[in-house]
Amino acid sequence: MASKLKLQKLIASLNHAVSNSVDFLEKQHVNNLLKYFDKDGNPATSDFQVGDEVMRVPLFCLANHQSLSLKEIELEFSVSLADTEDTESDEDHVHIDLHHVEKKRKMHVKIKMENNGTPEAVNRLNDELIQKIQQIKK
């Protein structure tokens, strides 16, 4: 294993790992939402007796759509800067040493990533379905 690595490559690898995790969670969320609709896009419903009336309510409106998500990730680590004498002339990159930690050449790195929350489309869909709750005459 090489003892030197471009800091940019390490950060890109961490970003890729986070992106893959977010992608997986988003696909899982969409698959869970699709359970509330048939193949033609019609919402699955259930009838509820409310007083003297029966209401047909889309099940989507009754479900919690808060899925697992990565709200915030904070990575914090220290690395040691590599000697650049034996590294190719590469002024645009910072190289780190994976095997030697020297206090005088140590650099502290902190990366913070955030999620923007529930997609607005999910909230709008829920609002539209709530407006279409049907009252069924007995």
Q: Residue 83 and residue 59: Cα distance in Å, rounded?
A: 62
Residue positions counted in the chain? 138
> Rounded to two decimals, what is the model's pTM?
0.55
pLDDT in tens, 7-36: 788 888 888 888 888 888 888 888 988 999
pLDDT in tens, 30-71: 898 899 999 999 999 999 988 888 889 999 988 877 766 667
Domain ranges (residues) in the chain:
4-136
Question: For the chain, what percent of residues have pLDDT higher than 90?
Answer: 12
Q: Residue 73 and residue 111: Cα distance in Å, rounded?
A: 8
Question: For the chain, what percent of residues have pLDDT higher than 70?
Answer: 75
The answer on pLDDT for 137 being more than 60 is: no
Q: Residue 74 and residue 24: Cα distance in Å, rounded?
A: 19
